[in-house]
Amino acid sequence: MTADPPSPVSPVAAAGPILEPGRNCWRVERADRLAVIVDAEEYFLHAKAALRRARRSVYLTAWDFDARIRLTPQSHRVQRPDRLGRLLNWLATTRPDLRIHVLKWDYAEVFDLARWSRPFLLRNGLTHRRLQYRLDGDHPTGACHHQKLLVIDDSLAFCGGLDLTANRWDTRAHRGQDRRRRQPDGTPYDPFHDVMMAVDGDAARALGELFRGRWLRATGENLEPPALPILVPPPRRFAHRRFLRRASPEPRVVADPWPPALVPLARGTRVGISRTDPGGGDRREAREVEALFLDAIARARRIIYLESQYFASTAVARALAARLAEADGPEVVVINPVRSPSWLENAVMLGARASRLRDLRAADRHGRFALYCPRADDGTPITVHSKVMVVDDRLLRIGSANLNNRSMGLDSECDLAWEANPEDPAEAEFGRAIAHSRDDLIAEHLGVVPERVAWETRRRGSLIAAIEALRRPEGRRLEPLADGESEGAGRAVADTGLFDPGLFDPERPVGAVELLRGVLPSRVPRRHHWVILALGLLALLLALAPDHAEGWDATDPTMVGLAWLWRAAILSLHRAEGWAWGLLVDYGGWLAAALALVLLARAAVRRAGMNKGSDPP
């Protein structure tokens, strides 16, 4: 079953709240505390503190997961265990009432082969029985599980763009050269920017319910919610006085996993939860992420601020173009990375971005649109991985959904949206906090303080004018993007026409037959069957190549999507027999699937060869 596309906001609805359960969000729940966490140094620190305070349940779902990463590499006096896998196993071992469940997208398991990490499923035999690792394969062909959630005791939840994996940790300074910013094998990577939101109360319980539903679909196992409230004895400051309390029963307090160092941005507010779910079987698809984008754009009055890894969504670009064409529409500021980590993304996603930019600039008759790319102090491009939307001083949205077509209807996504009612004086403080969050993000990119951004915006009456006044030619800065075209190997691949953005960035699930036809171009002579087959399989694997595979060198045109697999195959010859056998056991399913794909493709090519002289299907 499929959901109808979201309809435009009616004039009557325009006077009410933007968040509407059943239309652009799954539910609206109360959060007793809400916080915005910028960049992985702070998120990893708070996540570690929250994990150590867990008592009943830990739910972690991600696009990727790397148990080898350190959570606090900035600290010289580390509270151990600090590596993620060891911390989770220590928690399961030392907390008899704690159950930990980790769910990862199944295709991301091949990353472990490339980086010589212990295979994901093999961890279940090497860790405590109360720590369960599972792979999520409940998605259509070509789709991925993209939600990034950490839920603790159904009392605290983190949601946003950050996975607990390699290539993510960085400070808010985003220095071009930082020795701490390295992969577990010591390889450095570029500065990395991302954002998370933390909520507690009913909002956290709803996200726990969302995880349990996803776990059930992926594993068939029904998880019971943790019992609440959780009572624990208070911490003792003076251990030598314990004997004085033996005669009397100890008081009990409700366990609070909220990290002590995490300062709430707001208290007692309501948060909307929006999803993308392609559906399947009797499950209806959810396109709340797309609906919220369109509704928020339609309701904006002054400023639309966006941060995203991509800028390729057709629906969002059309909605923005309609507002830019208005005489008194809002300003639109978009923050994007200069380039993507892989040349295939440069060919597909940056080509789509260039097309969206041409359309928007054609509609921008009043000069209210700007797209900027951040650079570090030494000019190194900063990888923007955040997924943020701020509308006026009314709506703050943080989640996993990118501004591309896949996030609107193909991949599984989860966004949190915090709305302040502009007509309610009691929520004026919430509006100021939302505006401050936007100014804080812009100030980070410009290398100034948030108050400077707010003052310039008020003085000039324009966010774009304020950014232009604060931009510097050197050092930490934002640079306007000219046309958004891809470069180097990415441009060369794009010119071949082999990679259709509509095929690799679809708005809805694409069938396996359609995907195979798309990667077997008709311009290749049909008589070269094995050439066609090789090109098809190569294109399919490249389309699913990881964004941040370790050892990937985006500047080297020889490092294509299969280079890491070739390297792994060569190195495996030098490994012990036992390790090789373990890989065969864990990846036998992948090899069988690849062989089946080869046989199916070969049969399709032969069938096409029997119809010479006719048009290809």
Judge whether 308 lies within some domain.
yes
What is the mean pLDDT of the segment spanning 300-318? 96
pLDDT (tens digit per residue) in 548-599? 433 344 444 334 444 445 444 444 444 443 444 444 545 555 666 666 676 6
Adjacent-strand bridge partners of 58: 100, 152
276 and 132 housed in the same domain? no
Q: What are the CA-CA distances from residue 454 to residues 335, 440, 441, 536 (Å)?
A: 18, 9, 11, 52
Judge whether 36 lies within some domain.
yes
pLDDT at 425: 87
328 and 198 housed in the same domain? no
Question: Could you write out the three-class secondary structure of 443-480?
Answer: HHHHCCCHHHHHHHHHHHCCHHHHHHHHCCCCCCEEEE
Name, of 342-351, 464-473, 567-576, the range with top average pLDDT.
Answer: 464-473
475 and 519 housed in the same domain? no
pLDDT at 143: 82
Cα–Cα distance measured from residue 505 to residue 344, given in angstroms and rounded to the nearest whole number: 12
Adjacent-strand bridge partners of 331: 303
CATH number for the domain spanning 65: value is: 3.30.870.10
pLDDT (tens digit per residue) in 16-47? 899 999 999 999 999 999 999 999 999 999 99
pLDDT at 384: 96
Chain-wide mean pLDDT for the chain?
80
457 and 532 housed in the same domain? no
Domain encompassing residue 333: 268-480
Judge whether 25 lies within some domain.
no
449 and 534 housed in the same domain? no
Percent of the chain with pLDDT over 70: 68
What is the mean pLDDT of the segment spanning 262-284? 92
pLDDT at 121: 59
Identify the domain boundary among 452, 480, 508. Answer: 480
pLDDT at 229: 61
192 and 285 housed in the same domain? no
Counting every residue written for the chain, the total comes to: 617
Least confident of 15-24, 276-285, 445-454, 598-607: 598-607
Beta carbons within 10 angstroms of residue 541's beta carbon: 17
pLDDT (tens digit per residue) in 84-139? 999 999 999 999 999 999 998 877 566 555 555 555 556 666 678 999 988 888 87
CB of 380 closer than 8 Å to CB of 190: yes
407 and 272 housed in the same domain? yes
pLDDT at 206: 98
Q: Which two tokens stand for residue 581?
A: 């056998």
Judge whether 24 lies within some domain.
no
pLDDT at 94: 94
Of the candidates 598, 599, 601, 591, which has an alpha carbon nearest to the alpha carbon of residue 518?
Answer: 601
Identify the domain boundary among 179, 200, 228. Answer: 228
Helix and strand totals (H; E) in the chain: 17, 20
Who has greater pLDDT, 239 or 189?
Answer: 189
Cα–Cα distance measured from residue 196 to residue 162, given in angstroms and rounded to the nearest whole number: 7
Query: Is the predicted pLDDT of residue 391 greater than 50, yes or no?
Result: yes
Query: Is the predicted pLDDT of residue 533 greater than 90, yes or no?
Result: no
pLDDT (tens digit per residue) in 159-173? 999 999 999 999 999
Query: Is the predicted pLDDT of residue 536 greater than 70, yes or no?
Result: no
Cis amide linkage into residue 257, ω under 30° from 0? no
Q: What are the CA-CA distances from residue 586 to residues 107, 580, 583 (Å)?
A: 13, 10, 5
Identify the domain boundary among 417, 450, 480. Answer: 480
Judge whether 494 lies within some domain.
no
pLDDT bracket for residue 140 (50, 70, 90): confident
pLDDT at 433: 97
pLDDT (tens digit per residue) in 490-532? 444 444 444 455 556 767 666 544 544 444 444 444 444 455 4
Query: Is the predicted pLDDT of residue 66 greater than 80, yes or no?
Result: yes
Q: Exposed, middle or buried: residue 20 (CB in 10 Å: 0-12, 13-18, 19+)?
A: middle
What is the mean pLDDT of the segment spanning 174-192? 93
Of the candidates 196, 197, 226, which has an alpha carbon nearest to the alpha carbon of residue 211?
Answer: 226
Beta carbons within 10 angstroms of residue 601's beta carbon: 20
Judge whether 235 lies within some domain.
no
pLDDT bracket for residue 204 (50, 70, 90): very high
Cα–Cα distance measured from residue 241 to residue 237, given in angstroms and rounded to the nearest whole number: 9
The H or E element containing residue 316 is: helix 314-324
313 and 203 housed in the same domain? no
Least confident of 117-126, 215-224, 401-410, 565-574: 565-574
pLDDT at 509: 65
pLDDT at 139: 78
pLDDT at 161: 96
Judge whether 164 lies within some domain.
yes
| Count of domains for the chain | 3
Rg over alpha carbons for the chain, rounded to the nearest Å, is 25
What is the mean pLDDT of the segment spanning 408-430? 93
603 and 505 housed in the same domain? yes
533 and 452 housed in the same domain? no
Query: Is the predicted pLDDT of residue 372 greater than 50, yes or no?
Result: yes
Query: Is the predicted pLDDT of residue 403 greater than 70, yes or no?
Result: yes
Judge whether 485 lies within some domain.
no
Percent of the chain with pLDDT over 90: 55
Global confidence as pTM: 0.79
pLDDT bracket for residue 612 (50, 70, 90): very low
476 and 510 housed in the same domain? no
At what angle are helices 450-460 and 463-470 packed, to 10 degrees? 120
pLDDT at 114: 56
Cα–Cα distance measured from residue 21 to residue 89, given in angstroms and rounded to the nearest whole number: 38
Q: Which two tokens stand for residue 123?
A: 């961890």
468 and 509 housed in the same domain? no
CB of 159 closer than 8 Å to CB of 197: yes
